[in-house]
Amino acid sequence: VYSSLLLKRRKYIHEKIGRAIETLYPERLEEFYEMLAYHYTEAGCHEQAVAYWQQAGQRARQRSANMEALDHLTKGLEGLKPLPDTPVRTQLELDFLIALGLAYRLTRGYTAPEAARIYTRARKVCQQVGDTPKLAQVLFGLSIYHLGRADYRTARELGEQLLAEARRQRDAGLMLEAHRVLGSTLYYTGEFSAANAHLEQGIALYDHQQHRSHTELFGFDPGVVCHAIAALALSALGYPDQAQQRIQTALTLAQATSHPHSLGAALNWATELHQHCGEPRVVQEHAERSLAFSSEHGFPHWVAWATQNRGWALAIQGRSKEGIAQLHQGRDMLQDLGLEIAMTGILGNLAEAYGHAGQPEAGLQAVAEALKLVEQTGERKYEASLYRTKGELLLGLTADHRTEAESCFHQALAGARRQQAKLFELRAATSLSRLWQKQGKIQEARELLAEIYGWFTEGFDTKYLKEAKALLEELV
């Protein structure tokens, strides 16, 4: 019967239904946003339809129903096309673009090409609008995209623009987000002290109640991110106990926000921290929890990270074949999503796994690929670890490569010292001292290892400090 009606009659019926719902349920309209948007769309009442699609998208996003939000917001943006080109329409387009960019990031990963296209368009619309506070959200979205692509130079430039905009607006919340972006970017370029300084500024600005809305505006609770990345930076800088305190705070905040994406992120970074500490069993436990949680909530990027983290843990614990397969699987998943961030670290994990499997040649190929990426992207967070791993793999070859391995350990030491990365310096010194011990250079080995071990003031119950202490006791 419906299909036999004339188009004009159909539109009339849809409009009547929409108005009836508004009349009958004025106190419960939020339950009918999607239905109202549909009926007004079919009625050709574009202004009403757009308004309800926007509200339906916001409501879905508040429930972390991100795919649903994506659908509603896409329809709303499409519904703008018949409207006249006015300042109000332009502002509405900007609002939809910003919301859509976030929805794409949450459902298809940080580097979804749709997100890049939408944020680029949003920046142009900002120029049309003129002086708008919404520019900050656009700069943030673009910076996260470039961070995910391992385009650290652009991500940093956008982060600095965001900080300048936040200061211009005198908005502490935006300053917090800018410090978060800059801290994250500097962490991956291996500038750990500078990264931690930005993250600590973010933590100082953060107020859990005041910044609850940031989960909707930016996709994360900023306190969770600042504490978690600060934990990783502190670990690299040689403060393992402080790092544990920071990651526990991040997890507690993530639980308190009841925001799934923030908790998924915190679980992933907690897993990475335990990997820093050389705890494969704990890494496996965290990775499996992260995998289950992220699969349930539809976060493909966190699923991919958890997969490769679990692969590393399995390989280090002796399940080499399964672990290496999962490392490859996780890497492939990330690349399918367009993510290049931390790829040098994943290749380093793969190299280490091959070493444990007795396949040093394959491990050296992975290291070579990683070091090439280091130079291409400037991702130097893992550089010292890669040279140390290369040295260990060279020692695993049948031919004598001790001279080349020693050179790699020296490169790892030099890199770690440039970065003030005391954890990585300790591990490189331990590897070099162990080699010197075998060569009879006992005094040189002890002096090298004693100096860096003596620097530490905490974390003496962690694996790598225990190993260094045990080796020092042998070097007599």
Per residue of the chain (476 residues), what is the pLDDT tens digit?
Answer: 445 556 777 888 898 998 999 899 888 988 889 899 999 898 889 999 999 899 999 899 888 788 899 999 989 989 999 999 998 999 999 999 999 998 888 888 778 888 889 999 999 999 888 878 889 999 999 999 999 999 999 999 999 999 999 999 999 999 999 999 999 999 999 999 999 999 999 999 999 888 887 777 788 899 999 999 999 999 999 999 999 999 999 999 999 988 898 999 999 999 999 999 999 999 999 999 999 999 999 889 999 999 999 999 999 999 999 999 999 999 999 999 999 999 999 999 999 999 999 999 999 999 999 999 999 999 999 999 999 999 999 999 988 999 999 999 999 999 999 999 999 999 999 999 999 999 999 999 999 999 999 999 999 999 999 999 999 999 98
pLDDT reported for residue 217: 76
* N- to C-terminal Cα separation, the chain: 95
* C-alpha to C-alpha distance for 158 and 140, rounded to whole angstroms: 7
Supply the DSSP string of 358-417, one letter for each residue: T-HHHHHHHHHHHHHHHHHH---TTHHHHHHHHHHHHHTSSS--HHHHHHHHHHHHHHHH
Tallying the residues shown for the chain, one arrives at 476
Question: What are the helix and strand counts (H, E) for the chain?
Answer: 24, 0
Query: How many angstroms separate the Cα of 174 from the Cα of each of 104, 131, 134, 167, 200?
Result: 21, 16, 11, 8, 15
pLDDT reported for residue 405: 97
**132, 126 in Cβ contact below 8 A?**
yes
User: Nearest 5°: CA angle at 115, between 111 and 116?
Assistant: 75
pLDDT reported for residue 6: 60
